[in-house]
């Protein structure tokens, strides 16, 4: 008899004795199906395929056997979790943080030497200094608490010269998108893209430009539960972190 808590497996076994087994791209799956198909072809007595509910606390030898099977499958399916250094390397390959941002992101479980080595080994970061910001603007103790957003112009992009940029003031993660205008619609498109990549922050700080103080932007942030704080337009100190990020982005583009 075949006892399973998977409706898919139960239906598959019921039809497998009459099926022609073709090759599949996943070698492990092919091996399991082939072994099951061979065993069914060798049957000499009637057998029954039983589907039982999973994760139930009812007593019985069938459920006890199913629980043991679940434990075995879970042990095989669970891959080892990468250690902190491997996670930091993978994160830096995507976001290219500074070594200090890496240490903060992983709750200081990396040493100074390890975090510096990760940044030094990255070919995209050679010769580029990722600025670290201290006391110039409000910060918090974890990511997705305060973002700064601003718009810079990059003439080489042509019609897409309006580059909207957001930076997490804790982790220094930067997300930039190119647009044709500085309108409220483009600001909203940029934030939608940023939210899908990095998550939804608690607070976003911008200047008090027309696009950022519009009703559409306020309604969008209210819908997402994000607090909006505005500073003084064209003030060099109000948006210090994102202004430094503008310069770093332009420097990186010039060296491409």
Query: In this predicted model, what pLDDT tens digit does every residue of 213-231 receive, in sequence order?
Result: 999 999 999 999 999 988 7
Place 127 in a pLDDT band, splitting at 50, 70 and 90: low
Q: CA dihedral defined by 116, 120, 125, 127, rounded to 10 degrees?
A: 110
Indicate the SS3 state at residue 132.
Answer: coil
> Cβ distance 163 to 154 under 8 Å?
yes
| Mean pLDDT across the chain | 79
Distance CA 39, CA 19 (A): 13
- E strands, 110-211, are 146-153, 162-168, 174-179, 203-206
Place 135 in a pLDDT band, splitting at 50, 70 and 90: very low
> Of 21-25, 203-207, 251-255, which range is least confident?
21-25
**Into which CATH architecture does domain 82-130 fall?**
Orthogonal Bundle (1.10)
Question: Which tens digits make up the pLDDT trace of 28-71?
Answer: 777 877 888 888 778 778 877 777 766 565 566 666 776 776 66
Place 134 in a pLDDT band, splitting at 50, 70 and 90: very low
Task: Kindly tell me if the per-residue pLDDT of 184 is higher than 90.
Answer: yes
**What count of residues does the chain have?**
256
Indicate the SS3 state at residue 71.
Answer: helix
Indicate where the chain has its CATH 1.10.10 domain(s).
82-130
The DSSP string of 153-172 is: E-GGGGGG-EEEEEEETTT-
Candidate ranges 53-62, 63-72, 97-106, 161-170; pick with highest mean pLDDT:
161-170
- The reported pLDDT for the residue numbered 54 is 66
Indicate where the chain has its CATH 3.30.420.10 domain(s).
135-254
Question: Which tens digits make up the pLDDT trace of 189-210?
Answer: 999 999 988 889 999 999 888 9
- The reported pLDDT for the residue numbered 133 is 45
- The token duo for 186 is 């483009």
Place 183 in a pLDDT band, splitting at 50, 70 and 90: very high
Average pLDDT (116-137) is 64
- E strands, the chain, are 2-4, 49-51, 146-153, 162-168, 174-179, 203-206, 227-230
Which has the closest alpha carbon to 52: 10, 1, 11? 10
Asked if the 135-254 domain carries CATH number 3.40.50.720, the reply is no
- The reported pLDDT for the residue numbered 195 is 92
Question: Which tens digits make up the pLDDT trace of 226-251?
Answer: 999 887 666 655 677 888 888 888 88
Long-range contacts of 155-160 (CB under 8 A, 24+ apart): 156/253
């Amino acid at each position: 008899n075949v006892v399973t808590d998977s409706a898919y497996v139960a239906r598959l076994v019921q039809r497998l004795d009459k099926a022609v087994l073709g090759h599949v791209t996943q070698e492990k799956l092919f091996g399991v199906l082939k072994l099951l198909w061979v065993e069914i072809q060798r049957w000499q007595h009637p057998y029954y395929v039983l589907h039982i509910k999973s994760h139930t606390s009812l007593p019985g030898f069938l459920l006890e056997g199913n629980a043991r099977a679940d434990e075995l499958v879970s042990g095989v399916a669970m891959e080892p979790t990468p250690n902190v250094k491997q996670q930091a390397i993978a994160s830096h390959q995507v976001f290219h943080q500074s070594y200090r941002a890496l240490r903060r992101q992983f709750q200081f479980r990396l040493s100074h030497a390890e975090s510096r080595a990760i940044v030094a080994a990255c070919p995209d970061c050679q010769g580029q200094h990722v600025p670290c910001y201290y006391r110039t603007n409000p910060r918090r103790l974890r990511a997705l608490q305060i973002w700064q957003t601003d718009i810079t112009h990059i003439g080489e992009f042509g019609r897409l010269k309006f580059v909207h940029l957001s930076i997490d003031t804790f982790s220094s993660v930067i997300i930039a998108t190119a647009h044709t205008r500085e309108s409220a619609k483009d600001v909203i498109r940029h934030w939608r893209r940023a939210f899908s990549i990095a998550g939804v922050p608690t607070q976003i700080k911008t200047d008090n430009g027309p696009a950022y103080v519009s009703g559409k932007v306020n309604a969008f942030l209210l819908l997402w539960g994000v607090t909006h704080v505005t500073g003084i337009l064209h003030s060099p100190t109000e948006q210090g972190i994102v202004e430094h990020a503008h310069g770093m982005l332009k420097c990186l583009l010039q060296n491409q």
